[in-house]
Amino acid sequence: MTHTQPSSLLCLGIESSCDETSLALVSDGTLLGHVLASQSDLHALFGGVVPELASREHLRFIGPLFDELLMRCDKPLEAISHVAVSRGPGLLGSLLVGVAFAKGLALGLGIPLLGVNHLHAHLLAAGLHSPLSYPALGLLVSGGHSSIYRLESPKRLQLLGRTLDDACGECFDKVGNHLGMSYPSGRLVDCAAQLGQKSIPFSLPYVHNDNLDFSFSGLKTAVISYIDEHLADLDYARPVREAQCLPQAILDLCASFNSVIAKTLVVKLERALDQNADCTSLILAGGVAANSMIRAELSRFAKRKRLPLIMPERDLCTDNGAMVAYAGWLLAREGYYHSLSMETIPRGRIIPDDILRKSTAPDSSV
Ligand code: KG4
Ligand code: ZN
């Protein structure tokens, strides 16, 4: 596959689909700079993301973050050649702040707009770490999704399997919440798991079938019931701030739970690979891809299959503007763009394939 690269392609990426406002600049496939304002402390007060508050916070942060990004990268406004934005899925009010900002810039600067699928951006961002080879098999595990994709090109991604109920990250967050950890608790469960022993034999959920879908709600219920039955009397300070302060029995529970999730992901990924044996690389992406045990388990699996496993750096696993800028850059260099009437797509609605292409661009998507 060959690509022609416009000489001065500088893509701004804007992410505001949930509770992180983040912007980044990518040029020549390289991340020039990245700024992020997280609202997690605010939403932790309510035990989850409050959509109205999230959109207000995006509105408050997006302008100053944009100025900060240009200053840090030492780039004038006019140097931006393309503006990419997460157009969905996500919270409608939150997405609209980013999309409106992107459309304003595209109109004001007379540059192309690119609406990026947030989930595709998570997967494609692995290419910032090391170039992707296609076809690739991608595992996306985040707070809202647990899915397996086949990637044919930056534009052609096929969904092979998804969660039927709770997402993987949601399961981490709910177990963590039950243990007295603040939202989002995946990172703290991860730290606790590293200090524990895998001593509780939870069953791998929804693997005795022949499909590529996930179901984590049964495991979540089993773990929460185990806590209530066996660990409810343990005395420790809540909210939990550090894994080191937790009793050994809780650390062991976290290790057992985390290990079951990691093994389940491998079972389904292996099945997907059996059905897509022509795939030349594996991708692990999404917020939960920052998880130590999952990274280690998938690395072992990739080694066994003799395939490269490409994972974004840990700080680029959770929502960020860099993944949007990079996905936008990949599409921009193939001549893709959206019209300014591009719709914003909230969670639950299918993102239309309405991207346009300059007729002069070479077709490198096949
Ligand atoms: O991709 P992301 O930032 O947002 C969504 O699009 O959902 O993912 C956030 C999710 C949260 O559920 C969070 O608890 C989880 O990723 N997470 C982790 C870790 N770091 C973040 N889960 C397990 N281990 C981690 N180290
Ligand atoms: Zn995400």
Does 81 share its domain with 164?
no
Q: What is the DSSP letter of 354?
A: -
Residue 231, judged by CB atoms within 10 A of its CB (0-12, 13-18, 19+), counts as middle
> Is pLDDT of 364 > 50?
no
Domain count, the chain: 2
Which range of residues forms the domain containing residue 322?
10-124+317-357
Does 247 share its domain with 306?
yes
H or E, element range at 114: strand 113-117
Does 242 share its domain with 104?
no
Which atom of ligand 1 lies at the shortest distance from residue 176's CA?
14
pLDDT tens digits for 116-155? Answer: 999 999 999 999 989 899 999 999 999 999 999 999 999 9
282 phi, psi to nearest 5 deg: -120, 145
What is the number of helices (H) and of strands (E) in the chain?
10, 12
Does 169 sit in the ligand 1 pocket, CB within 6 Å? yes
- CB distance 95 to 17 below 8 Å: yes
Does the pTM of the predicted model rise above 0.85? yes
Q: Which residues of 41-62 are buried (b: 16+ CB within 10 A; e: fewer)?
A: eebbeeeebbbebbbbbbbebb
Residue 359 confidence class, pLDDT cut points 50, 70, 90: confident
> What's the CATH code of the domain at 27?
3.30.420.40
Q: What is the DSSP letter of 228?
A: I
d(CA 327, CA 157): 12
Tell me the CA–centroid distance for residue 166 and ligand 2, in Å.
Answer: 15
Choice from 172, 195, 311, 320 to test ligand 1 binding pocket (greatest atom count within 8 A of CB):
172
- CB distance 144 to 174 below 8 Å: no
Ligand with smallest separation from the Cα of 141: 1
Does 143 sit in the ligand 1 pocket, CB within 6 Å? yes
**Residue among 159, 155, 127, 154 at smallest CA distance from 140:** 159
CB neighbourhood size of 155 (10 A): 20
Ligand with smallest separation from the Cα of 181: 1
pLDDT tens digits for 231-277? Answer: 999 999 999 999 999 999 999 999 999 999 999 999 999 999 999 99
3-state helix, strand, coil in the chain (%, to 5): 45, 20, 35
Which atom of ligand 1 lies at the shortest distance from residue 145's CA?
7
Tell me the CA–centroid distance for residue 236 and ligand 1, in Å.
Answer: 25
**Tokens for 86?**
């997460």
d(CA 72, CA 32): 9
Does 241 share its domain with 151?
yes
Does 115 share its domain with 144?
no
Does 175 share its domain with 29?
no
Question: Look-up: residue for tokens 């039950």?
Answer: 178
pLDDT tens digits for 30-53? Answer: 999 999 999 999 998 998 899 999
